Structure 1
Amino acid sequence: MNNKEFTTELSQRLGTSSKETAQTIESLLSELVEELQNGKSVTIQGFGSFEVKKKAERISVNPTTKERMLVPPKLVLSYKPSNILKEKFK
Structure 2
Amino acid sequence: MTKAEIIAEISTKTGIEKVDVQETVEAFFKVVKTSMVSGENVYVRGFGSFVVKKRAKKTARNISKNTAIIIPEHFVPSFKPAKTFVEKVRTGNKTKTTKA
Provide TM-score, normalisation by structure 1.
0.89
Gaps of 5+ in 2: 91-100
Q: Output the amino acid matched with 2:79.
A: Y
Q: What residue is the counterpart of 1:51 in the other structure? A: 51
CA distance in 1, matches of 2:74, 2:14: 39
Q: Output the amino acid matched with 1:10.
A: I
Q: How does 1:67-86 map to 2 (within 5 A)?
A: 67-86=67-86
Q: By how many angstroms is 1:63 displaced?
A: 2.7
Task: After superposing the two structures, state which structure 1 stretch, 15-24 or 30-39, moved more.
Answer: 30-39
Residues 44-81 of structure 1 show CA distances to partners (whole Å, capped at 9, x for unaligned) of: 01110011112111100123432111112221001111
CA distance in 2, matches of 1:78, 1:64: 30
Q: How does 1:6-85 map to 2 (within 5 A)?
A: 6-85=6-85
Q: What residue is the counterpart of 1:5 in the other structure? A: 5
Q: Secondary structure at the match of 2:34?
A: helix
Q: Secondary structure at the match of 2:33?
A: helix
CA distance in 2, matches of 1:37, 1:65: 34
Q: By how many angstroms is 1:89 displaced?
A: 2.7
Task: After superposing the two structures, state which structure 1 stretch, 79-88 or 29-38, moved more.
Answer: 29-38
Q: How many pairs align?
A: 90
- Cα root mean square deviation, aligned: 1.3
Q: Secondary structure at the match of 1:89?
A: helix
Provide TM-score, normalisation by structure 2.
0.81
Percent identity over the alignment is 29
Gaps of 5+ in 1: none
